[in-house]
Amino acid sequence: KLLYHLEKEEQMPDGMCVDAEGKLWVACIDGGRVIRIDPETGKRIQTVRLPTPRITSCCFGGKDYSEMYVTSAYDGLDETTLAKEPHAGEIFKITGLGVKGIPQNFYAA
């Protein structure tokens, strides 16, 4: 079933994760943001804008999983664009979201 229809400015979904409240966080590649979606209502409930457009993935970490780490890409950007997007390809740490992630599951090989 369709969970959420991205707005034009959100572009395309890429990597995603789930927080402790069961909400879905989606990295919007070429949208310069990570959005939080309530899977029960299908509504976007939070947007975190980042200083570069090619946002590729997100996950929670830190001592208590209250930090979000967001990756970005620089592939596909020409030199002129890279000069305008100096943060392309960087990893960002976001704090103060008011929500925590959940520990990853480990599986025995």
Strands in 55-61's sheet, in edge-to-edge order, are 55-61, 67-72, 91-94
Residues with a catalytic annotation lie at 14
Q: Read off the pLDDT band of 109 (50, 70, 90).
A: confident
Of the listed ranges 30-39, 41-50, 99-108, the least confidently predicted one is 99-108
Amino acid 72: pLDDT: 97
**Global confidence as pTM:** 0.90
38 is in an annotated binding site: no
CB within 8 A of 48, min separation 6: which ones? 33, 34, 35, 36, 68, 70, 94, 97
* Domains parsed from the chain with CATH numbers: 8-95 (2.40.10)
Q: How far apart are CA 106 and CA 45, in angstroms?
A: 30
Give the model's pLDDT for residue 103.
86
Contact yes or no for 57/27 (Cβ under 8 A): yes
HSE-CB at 48 with a 13 A cutoff on CA atoms is: 20
Three-state DSSP class for 25?
A: strand
| Residue 56 pLDDT greater than 80, yes or no | yes
Residues above pLDDT 70, as percent of the chain:
100
Question: Does 33 score more than 90 pLDDT?
Answer: yes
Tell whether the model's pLDDT for residue 52 goes beyond 90: yes
Nearest to 15 by CA among 42, 41, 38, 35: 35
